[in-house]
Amino acid sequence: MTAEITNTTMNILNQVLNGDVRAAAKLIRGIEDDIPEATAAMGEIYLHSGRAHIVGITGAPGAGKSTLLGCLIGEFRKRSKKVGVVAIDPTSQLSGGALLGDRIRMQKYCTDKDVFIRSLASRGWKGGLSRAAINTVHVMDAMGKDIIFVETIGAGQAEVDISHVADTSLVVLVPGMGDDIQMMKAGIMEVADIFVINKADREGADGLRISLETMLDGSPRQHEISHHSGINDVSPETPPDPGAHRPDEWRPSILLTEAINNKGIRELADEIERHREFLTSSGKLAERRRERAKLELTMAVETTLRSHLQKTDECYLDTLIDDLVQRKTDLNTAALKVIKLPTEL
């Protein structure tokens, strides 16, 4: 079924493509709240996205992610890049409300017309990435943002986390928080492209760097292994040589920063750009984007099926349920019947 492109959709699309912040923000709100017009417009927006460099930034609560982002916005603005930020904080399970405080650390850039910062509550996605969050990235992308940062807490545990969607994944650690044990648990080693040891003004930053390097020598990146059949030609006996590895392999880098003193930011920005260049030249960018599209397709199918179920005629469902209770039919047959049933849109 091809949705007709309505005037509303065309208007929203044109405004967003022209970089209209108010229209884009309203659209994002509509997607969060599942408004049909927003969903329709999103379909068109998607076709105009796919250019921006998407950078995920995760790490324990209070590691300094937002403060770092504040610095990075400034640095990338100096490099004439248009910047988008999506900052996700958890929804309180008790009240369903949320207190979104990441923005405080970035407010300095709020009036810059080429910076767009949007806070999102996780709304039941438990630290993972909601469809609304991914779509917010697409909207900023279509607006013409060159680089889009996505801040979330925790990596590796959620079903869909930012590392599955980002081109470049930053993991922020701080000295002296038992990080080494925790990140092994959280599977952070596998997702990071760049480790940032923030609060390097504190004691223990060098120690953390050394233990990270030791771990990296022993564990190649999981992403690369599972999606690369040619990995076996690296024989396990070959000693790791950080100075001379294959051009299509990325060894996660480790950088020290002091976000509150704006220190180490230029180097971090350089490294983020270097990773993007690596992705392009090695062909890995295309690989990651295929992975992302596949993930999004899976999410879209789930959403579509769920809404199909919601629209299915209740009387028809009741009959099916009766049949199930009386064991006249089985679950699989019943499910297939529901899926094949046309519903009016």
Partner 1 sequence: MTPERKVRILIAKPGLDGHDRGVKIVARGYRDAGFEVIYTGVHQTPEQIADAAIQESVDLVGLSCLSGAHLHLFSEVARLLKEQGAGDVTIIGGGIIPREDIPRLKEAGIKEVFLPGTTLEEIVNWTKENVSPK
Residues that bind Mg ion (CB under 5 A): 65-66, 102
27 contacts ligand GTP (rule: CB under 6 A): no
Shortest Å distance, C-beta 112 to Mg ion: 19
Total chain residues near partner 1 (CB under 8 A): 31
199 contacts ligand GTP (rule: CB under 6 A): yes
- Annotate 279-296 with DSSP letters as a single string: HHHHTHHHHHHHHHHHHH
230 contacts ligand GTP (rule: CB under 6 A): no
Structure tokens at 65: 């992610």
Measure the CA–CA gap between 224 and 191, rounded to whole angstroms: 10
Q: Which of 250, 265, 149, 281 is nearest to 198 (CA)?
A: 265
Laid out side by side, the sheet with 168-173 consists of 115-121, 83-89, 147-151, 53-59, 168-173, 194-197, 253-256
Sole window of 64-72, 108-116, 215-223, 236-244 interacting with ligand GTP (rule: CB under 6 A): 64-72
What letter represents residue 21's amino acid? V
326 contacts partner 1 (rule: CB under 8 A): no
Measure the CA–CA gap between 328 and 330, rounded to whole angstroms: 7
Q: Which is nearer to partner 1, 87 or 183 (CB)?
A: 87
105 contacts ligand GTP (rule: CB under 6 A): yes
Shortest Å distance, C-beta 141 to partner 1: 16
Total chain residues near ligand GTP (CB under 6 A): 18
325 contacts partner 1 (rule: CB under 8 A): no
Measure the CA–CA gap between 146 and 80, rounded to whole angstroms: 9
86 contacts partner 1 (rule: CB under 8 A): no
**Contact predicate 166/155, CB 8 Å:** no
Measure the CA–CA gap between 100 and 237, rounded to whole angstroms: 49
Shortest Å distance, C-beta 108 to partner 1: 8
67 contacts ligand GTP (rule: CB under 6 A): yes
Q: Which residues bind partner 1 (CB under 8 A)?
A: 21-22, 25-26, 28-29, 32-34, 91-92, 94-101, 103-104, 107, 110-111, 116-119, 121, 123, 310
